[in-house]
Amino acid sequence: MVGHLFSSDCHYKNVLTNNLFQNSMKLCVHGAMSADNSCADVSVPLRNLLNSVQCVRDRVKDGESNESNGVFNLSNFWDTLTQAVKAASQEATKLSLAFSKPPLPTQEDGEKFAESIHKSVLALSTVYYWLPKSDGITLRRLVRDATAEVLDGIVQLVDVIVSSPLQSLSQEQLQSTGGVWSACDQFAHLPRDNREAVLGVLASYIGVVKDAIEEMEQAQAESQDPFSDVLDDEDQDSRGNQDTYWSEEDRQLMAPCQGLMKASAACLRKLLSAVKANGNVSMPETVAQLDDLADIAKEISPSVDDLVLSLYPPMDYSGVDQNACKLTLVLKKVLDIIRVSHVCLEADLNWVQFLNGALDHNLQKIKALIQGSS
């Protein structure tokens, strides 16, 4: 099944026999296995397993991919990864069931369970390492995080079994077993290529920016005092400080600031539509462009949040000016990268130009209002 992941069988054999990750894991497992050799106890192989899975997990979080010499087959990768995830889930379930009621497994049986789980963990991690960066860093991050979550779940399960009295199925063991299942189930919902991965992260950015816009609109609409919902009656009765209220000048300044926020949301929506319509993952160059778009777009929502925070009273106009300029620069950088990317067709240049003009208009208005208030 795995022999078709790469166009070259020679490369596949080389991955299996010379995988740096597996070689380093042998050292790690050897150190773990030597710690408790003298204890004739069923918990010994479990403690050793816990150490080795932790080692695998840490290397997954920090390690690099194996770049393929041949043509990487993404479809076969997903088939193989799905089987590896399924095997890891099954082995974790077997372990949990074995330690759910008396009689407990013997030390020999415990060693067999530990060996089976360790093999499934190593197989899952190794398949993840086959995914090259050239197929998309955004995609690879999502697969890495999902793989690490499965390994975290197995670590938690083994730790619960080792730490709890080995007599009956505890609530913690039930929850940790369910955690492994949940982590494994999410693989079915992962994007299958870098275009889908970028679409997913862009959608999440849109949601964050939309929430920030709605938060500010709600604060304006509900009350003259944006802090009224977080202060008790005594605080409100004793407070005569107008620094907790928006002045008329503040509200005038908020309008173009909200214009920048709405331009942020529009930029992300237009980018998502362009990636959906024109995103190409057939060449390394276009895959890399999608990663660049996702990375730069990631800067938008924190910049929007900073601007929102600076708008709450007492409003610091210099802070508003600084954050508005920062957001505008980020958005212009995003638009510049969009303009030269493959997702931007000639027809898309119109909205790129329109948003650039909207940014200039709102920023100029913000600066004029701030200067007029000084």
* Residue 185: CB atoms within 10 Å: 11
The pLDDT score that the predictor gives to residue 321 is 97
What's the CA gap between 194 and 138, in Å, rounded?
Answer: 6
Task: Report pLDDT for 69.
Answer: 63
The residue among 236 and 289 whose pLDDT is bigger is 289
What pLDDT, on the 0 to 100 scale, is given for residue 6?
Answer: 41
pLDDT confidence bin for 7, thresholds 50/70/90: very low
Give the whole-angstrom CA distance, residue 234 versus residue 342: 59
Task: Name which residue leads in pLDDT, 330 or 33.
Answer: 330
Where residue 345 falls among pLDDT bands split at 50, 70, 90?
very high
Tell me the mean pLDDT in the region 151-180.
88
Whether the pLDDT of residue 228 is over 80: the answer is: no
What gap in Å lies between CA 341 and CA 336, rounded to an integer?
9
- The answer to whether 352 and 339 are in contact (CB under 8 A) is yes
**For residue 10, what pLDDT band results from cuts at 50, 70 and 90?**
very low
Segment 80-111, tens digit of pLDDT: 999 999 999 999 999 999 988 888 888 899 99
144: pLDDT strictly greater than 90: yes
Query: Pick the residue with more confidence: 160 or 29?
Result: 160
| Share of residues in the chain with pLDDT > 70 (%) | 81
Given a cut of 70, whether residue 5 has pLDDT beyond it is: no
HSE (CB half, 13 Å, CA atoms) of 196? 9
Residue 61 in this model has a pLDDT that exceeds 80: yes
**Where are any strands of DSSP class E within the chain?**
none
**pLDDT tens, residue by residue, 185-206:** 999 999 999 999 999 999 999 9
List pLDDT tens digits, range 300-342.
999 999 999 999 999 999 999 999 999 999 999 999 999 999 9
Would you state the pLDDT for residue 68?
62
Mean pLDDT, residues 252-256 = 95
Q: Between 111 and 220, name the one with better pLDDT.
A: 111
Residue 232 has what pLDDT?
Answer: 56
Question: How sure is the predictor about 12, in pLDDT bands with cuts at 50, 70 and 90?
Answer: very low
Query: What average pLDDT does the structure give for the chain?
Result: 85
Number of Cβ within 10 Å of residue 189's Cβ equals 8
- Please report, in angstroms and rounded to a whole number, the separation of the first and last CA atoms in the chain: 71
**pLDDT exceeds cutoff 60 at 54:** yes
pLDDT class of 279 with cuts at 50, 70, 90: very high
pLDDT beyond 60 at 233: no
Structure-token match 């992962």, residue found: 190
Q: Is 314 left (phi over 0), alpha (psi -120 to 50) or beta?
A: beta
